[in-house]
Amino acid sequence: MNFDQIIALTVLVGVVGLMIHGRMRADVVALAGAAVLLLLGVVRPIEVQGAFASPAVIALAGLFVIAYAIELSGLLGLMIRKATELSARIGATGIWIVIGLCGSVGGFLNNTPVVVLAAPVIRDVAESLKLSPKRFLMPLSHFTVLGGLLTLIGTSTNLLVNDMARNAGQPSFGLFEIMPVGLVIAAVGGVWLYFIGARQLGRSAALDEAQARAREEAARGRLRRLLPFGFPRLGESRNQADGSGDAHLGDVSLYKAADRPFRLKAAAISLAVFLLVIVAAAMGWIPIAAAAFGGAVALILARVITPDEAYAGLRPEILLLIAGMVVIGTAVEVTGLAQAAAGRLIDVIQPLGPLGALIVLYGVTLFATELLSNATVAVLITPVAVALAESLGVDPRPFLVCVMMAASAAFATPFGYQTNVLVYNMAGYTYLDFVRVGLPLNLVTWAAAMVAIPVFFPF
């Protein structure tokens, strides 16, 4: 290994290690790694500049502003409220309809505000129907993640893989090109969640309720013995008794939906701009980055959203994480580390052929996604996927789709995706709840992907 490869590998290992450790913010870690590579000359200033001005970053920035304008207009909240009114009338089936609608919206809008708005409402409707919210909130998160597999703009991962692939000389993906594969995976995953995953969560909720009742009865017994000595009333903490309050990290109240009053004009213009961006990109009139950027600026000029609100909606922690990881991914590629890694992988899986390589690549990506952010995994594995396909003498496209799907399929831990964290705290899930439901879901969607990808993207 030469000097540049040693430095690139050292930075890569350090960044991954710090992200797994979790003490430092992921965007700070990524930017620190990019700075080291720049200072030591492993990447050039023009390559760093290109990372911060990459089409993926520009497209995401524009889409974040447009999505925030839709949220501020009250349109997203109105849609969710109307859907939940239906749920209250027809019962649990209505809740599943809302979850399905949220999943489809996740194919076009960032799924975090969708879950933030929908989760408290679904929780309240479930409780009003005397049903445990645990049956529905984890599926809500997983459905929105599955919805992100449907389009190129469904997740930052898809845009990032497309960007990295284009830098490696591959043709860009169309906006709806991955939809057939995404639909198969989402349909299989959704059916599994509805018929099996929800039942597992229902049994877990019933067990929790039984344990809670047992603890409550035990507490009542202790309380009856202690009441003469002035202890707090049952269900009242010591902090509540003395008026000091007891807000804490993970408190459900911290995740109340930031619902907005509905403004018809703002909603109509925001939705029209969003649809125009989608049509322009889908028809190939202009690149998605240009369409999203133009749409965001148009909303500011139309005074639908103020410049300050647009900046607030940019989510710089995600954009800077992606830019920093693109720099690291560029270093991995230009130093030859990606080609070397693909060569080692080829030595192991050469006898398995292209399909075997696809299966192994999906598994490696899936495992890495449970430990790292999906953007990080996409940047690191995309160059390896291209080199792997070229070494096998086959089309890299199925391998790129494989990375898109696997890098977003983080179901088995509560920390694999930020919407998982939201529902983890809100419904009081345990870590094992996610493992019991998410691990089989990972395996089911993995199998579905291995059938669908070769059909729609032949080698």
pLDDT, residue 233, reads 33
Q: Check: CB of residue 69 under 8 Å from CB of residue 299.
A: yes
Residue 56 inside a domain? The answer is yes
pLDDT, residue 249, reads 34
- What total number of domains does the chain contain? 1
Query: How far does CA 346 lie from the centroid of its chain?
Result: 30
- Pick the closest to residue 189 from 198, 176, 177 (CA basis): 198
Helices 397-408 + 156-167 axis angle, to 10:
150
- What residue numbers bound the domain in which 402 lies? 3-206+259-456
3-state secondary structure of 405: helix
In whole angstroms, give the CA distance from residue 390 to residue 30: 28
pLDDT, residue 258, reads 54
In whole angstroms, give the CA distance from residue 206 to residue 182: 33
Please state, rounded to an integer, the average pLDDT across all residues of the chain: 82
Residue 79 has pLDDT above 80, yes or no: no
- Pick the closest to residue 161 from 14, 375, 350, 372 (CA basis): 375
Residue 249 inside a domain? The answer is no
**Averaging pLDDT over each range in 126-140, 207-221, 229-243, 434-448, which range is the top one?**
434-448
In whole angstroms, give the CA distance from residue 404 to residue 208: 36
pLDDT, residue 217, reads 66
Residue 231 has pLDDT above 50, yes or no: no
In this prediction, residues 201-230 reach a mean pLDDT of: 63
* Sequence-distant (≥ 6) Cβ neighbours of residue 227 within 8 angstroms: none
- Which residue, chain included where needed, has tokens 């130093």? 335
Residue 239 has pLDDT above 60, yes or no: no
In this prediction, residues 273-279 reach a mean pLDDT of: 89
Nearest-Å Rg of the Cα atoms of the chain is: 24
Residue 213 inside a domain? The answer is no
**CB-based burial label for 37 (10 Å; 0-12, 13-18, 19+):** buried
- Which residue, chain included where needed, has tokens 């049956």? 135
pLDDT, residue 225, reads 55
In whole angstroms, give the CA distance from residue 60 to residue 436: 33
- Which residue, chain included where needed, has tokens 């870690």? 29
Provide long-range contacts, Cβ within 8 A and 24+ apart, for 52-55: 52/323, 54/163, 54/322, 54/323, 54/326, 55/159, 55/163, 55/166, 55/287, 55/288, 55/289
- Among 337-346, 349-358, 402-411, which stretch is predicted with the lowest mean pLDDT? 337-346
In whole angstroms, give the CA distance from residue 219 to residue 215: 6
When pLDDT is cut at 50, 70 and 90, the band that residue 213 belongs to is low
Residue 45 inside a domain? The answer is yes
pTM above 0.85, yes or no: no
Residue 69 inside a domain? The answer is yes
Distances (CA, A) of 128 to 84, 116, 233: 12, 19, 26
In whole angstroms, give the CA distance from residue 72 to residue 304: 9
**Averaging pLDDT over each range in 203-217, 384-398, 444-458, which range is the top one?**
444-458
Residue 397 inside a domain? The answer is yes
Q: Check: CB of residue 65 under 8 Å from CB of residue 305.
A: yes
Q: Check: CB of residue 419 under 8 Å from CB of residue 115.
A: yes
pLDDT, residue 219, reads 59
Report the chain's terminal Cα–Cα distance, integer Å: 32
Residue 250 inside a domain? The answer is no
Residue 266 inside a domain? The answer is yes
